[in-house]
């Protein structure tokens, strides 16, 4: 019957319960089939089609929107096709991004969240989720090493969490900016390393500080900020008439996975009275691993921290926390007190109406899936999961160290799960590493990546840096990935590179 019914026949239609069950059960079957395939290594990571092919329509799959309702059967076909032409980011051989994996408990959390379909701005409509957010933020602050309870919020991604940190740092130094804007302020300067995430520059642009007032600090060969370079950048900014106010340090850079020297940076920030932010979007999860948490030593001295559980902790997208040491500053900085939403005379403690801390109005519930996963694994379970990801990276590093047909971008052991390397095809092995070889090597990774996408067997990313031609970056955040998958990756690069 489903082929004769439409969305109007589902609840809240008075006779809609049976059809609703039938439709959702069919949908769950589709999702379960997809989940099973995701973990099946004989299934492809992706079935790649160019944008124009998808737009033209494939085997009846059309992106066009009809004037008349489609029947429920067609909607289920649309759901199946949407997954079919997408990318299985939970596949053990999807190594392309920092966020990978398909955690079943996290997925259950996301389903429940969508079913509850509420909004994080007031306790009134999200009482349980608001308290869960408080519990989780406190737990994360403890892991960072803050003795006192601070502040925080889940944000729509690490870039926005970083944006908040710049906003708060500026407000902390110049609270008058909230009413007077930038015209009342001197020329501000902020500092971030050349390997840090581009969102720091974007924040400077969005907040009217300007990207040219972002001082980019030099890194060592491993991608870590050099403290003496930071100090001289601060002095240079002061000499140029700027007022330094903020330093971003990174725990786990996007490409190299490097950890900045937080203790040194904290000393410099204290000396110059600067807000220290740690962008631990990628590296924050390591705080849950006894084996690796020492890499973040000094993070406890930060004024704010970005930590994305949707990365190495494997929480479904998206789940990014901003943690702030100074309690109350988020509200002070952002509060506008919309009377229709944040009435002070509600029948409960309205400090739990956290919505006015935010720069948004409506805020998605990102916390529940993380809370449920934390219950399911415990902190120790997360720690072991993260350890396994880093073991995969070490395995890949060890293999590459012994191969003649690959070259590591840096020879030291990975600190996070990023491994950066070149594949050197036979024709380039006989050429001296000079300009011509570099020119040709630059083309190797994109060509192999294109073949990976065509065959759908595996996916990893590549990029150049200012001094280095295109190289592969392999990252491990999927607990389903094994050492055999790592072996497969190298065999596949060689196979595709020779073809």
Q: List residues near ligand ABU by CB under 6 A.
A: 97-99, 158, 197, 254
- The residue written with tokens 């710049």 in the block is 166
Dihedrals phi, psi of 211, to nearest 5 degrees: -65, -25
Comparison of 197 and 377: residue with beta carbon closer to ligand ABU: 197
Q: Shortest gap between Cβ of 281 and ligand ABU (angstroms)?
A: 6
Task: State the minimum distance, in angstroms, from the CB of residue 30 to ligand ABU.
Answer: 27
DSSP conformation class of 9:
G
For residue 262, the minimal CB distance to ligand ABU (Å) is 20
Pick between residue 254 and residue 358 the one whose CB is nearest to ligand ABU: 254
CB of 382 to ligand ABU, least distance (A): 19
Shortest distance (Å) from residue 5 CB to ligand ABU: 41
Residue closer to ligand ABU by CB (options 98, 247) is 98
Our measurement of the distance from residue 493's CA atom to the centroid of its chain's CA atoms, rounded to an integer in Å, reads: 26
Q: Are 263 and 271 in contact (CB under 8 A)?
A: no
Task: Kindly state the smallest distance separating residue 66's Cβ from ligand ABU, in Å.
Answer: 35
- Among candidates 26, 9, 25, which has minimal Cα distance to 17? 9
CB of 96 vs ligand ABU, minimal distance in Å: 7
Torsion angle of alpha carbons 157, 466, 239, 242, nearest 10°? Answer: -20
Strands (E) located in 222-308: 243-250, 275-279, 304-307
Instruction: Give the residue with the Cβ less far from ligand ABU, 130 or 474.
Output: 474
Phi-psi region for residue 48, left (φ > 0), alpha (ψ -120 to 50) or beta?
beta
Cis omega before residue 439 (within 30°)?
no
Burial class (CB in 10 A: 0-12, 13-18, 19+), 398: exposed
In the complex, least distance from residue 135 CB atom to ligand ABU, rounded to whole angstroms: 26
Report strand pairing: 243-250 vs 275-279.
Answer: parallel
- Give CA torsion, residues 173, 174, 175, 179, to 10 deg: -160
Please identify, using beta-carbon distances, which residue of 97 and 455 lies nearer to ligand ABU: 97
Nearest to ligand ABU of 295, 473 (CB atom): 473
Measured distance CA(26)–CA(475) in Å, rounded = 35
Distance (Å, whole) CA 393 – CA 388: 9
Query: Least CB distance from residue 245 to ligand ABU, whole Å?
Result: 24
Q: What angle do CA 156, 162, 168 make, to 5 degrees?
A: 110
Nearer to ligand ABU, 158 or 298 (CB): 158
Q: For ligand ABU, which is the closer residue by CB, 71 or 97?
A: 97
Nearer to ligand ABU, 118 or 254 (CB): 254
Contact 406, 421 (CB under 8 A): yes
CA dihedral (135, 137, 138, 139) positive or negative: positive
Question: What stretches of 7-85 show up as alpha helix (H) in DSSP?
Answer: 17-38, 51-56, 72-84
User: Which segments of 325-466 does DSSP mark as H helices, in order?
Assistant: 329-334, 367-401, 426-429, 435-455
**CB of 497 vs ligand ABU, minimal distance in Å:** 22
Q: Cβ closer to ligand ABU: 122 or 165?
A: 165
Residue positions counted in the chain? 499
Report, in Å, the least distance between residue 159 CB and ligand ABU: 7
Contact call for residues 346 and 198 (beta carbons, < 8 A): no
């Amino acid at each position: 019957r489903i082929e004769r019914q439409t969305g109007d026949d589902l609840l809240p239609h008075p006779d809609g319960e049976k059809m609703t069950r039938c439709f959702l059960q069919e949908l769950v079957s589709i999702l379960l089939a997809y989940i099973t395939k995701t973990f099946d290594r004989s299934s492809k990571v992706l079935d790649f089609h160019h944008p124009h092919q998808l737009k033209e329509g494939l085997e009846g799959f059309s992106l066009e929107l009809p004037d008349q309702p489609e029947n429920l059967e067609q909607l289920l076909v649309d759901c199946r096709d949407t997954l079919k032409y997408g990318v299985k980011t939970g596949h053990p051989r999807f190594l392309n991004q920092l966020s990978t994996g398909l955690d079943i408990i996290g997925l259950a959390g996301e389903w429940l969240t969508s079913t509850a379909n509420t909004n994080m701005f007031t306790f009134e409509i999200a009482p349980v989720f608001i308290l869960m957010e408080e519990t989780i933020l406190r737990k994360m602050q403890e892991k960072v090493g803050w003795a006192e309870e601070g502040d925080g919020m889940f944000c729509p991604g690490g870039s926005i969490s970083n944006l908040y940190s710049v906003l708060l740092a500026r407000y902390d130094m110049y609270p008058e900016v909230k009413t007077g804007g930038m015209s009342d302020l001197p020329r501000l300067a902020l500092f971030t390393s050349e390997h840090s995430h581009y969102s720091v520059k974007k924040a400077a642009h969005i907040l009217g500080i300007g990207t040219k007032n972002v001082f980019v600090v030099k890194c060592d060969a491993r991608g870590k900020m050099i403290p003496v370079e930071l100090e001289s950048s601060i002095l240079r900014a002061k000499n140029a008439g700027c007022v330094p106010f903020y330093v971003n340090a990174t725990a786990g850079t996007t490409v190299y996975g490097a950890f900045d020297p937080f203790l040194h940076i904290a000393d410099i920030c204290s000396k110059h009275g600067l807000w220290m932010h740690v962008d631990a979007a990628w590296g924050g999860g390591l705080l849950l691993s006894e084996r690796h948490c020492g890499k973040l030593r000094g993070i406890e001295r930060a004024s704010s921290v970005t930590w994305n559980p949707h990365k190495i902790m494997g929480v479904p997208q998206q789940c990014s926390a901003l943690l702030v040491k100074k309690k109350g500053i988020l509200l002070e900085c952002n509060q506008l007190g919309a009377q229709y939403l944040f009435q002070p005379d509600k029948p409960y403690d309205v400090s739990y109406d956290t919505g006015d801390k935010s720069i948004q109005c409506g805020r998605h519930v990102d916390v529940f899936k993380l809370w449920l996963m934390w219950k399911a694994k415990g902190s120790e379970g997360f720690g072991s999961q993260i350890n396994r990801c880093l073991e995969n990276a070490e395995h890949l590093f060890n293999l590459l160290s012994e191969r003649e047909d690959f070259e590591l971008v840096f020879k030291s052991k990975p600190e996070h799960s990023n491994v950066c390397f070149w594949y050197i095809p036979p024709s380039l092995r006989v050429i001296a590493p000079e300009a011509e070889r570099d020119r040709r090597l630059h083309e190797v990774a994109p060509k192999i990546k294109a073949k990976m996408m065509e065959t759908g067997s595996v996916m990893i990313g590549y990029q150049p840096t200012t001094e280095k031609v295109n190289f592969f970056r392999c990252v491990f955040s999927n607990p389903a990935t094994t050492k055999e998958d790592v072996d497969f990756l190298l065999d596949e690069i060689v196979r595709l590179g020779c073809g």
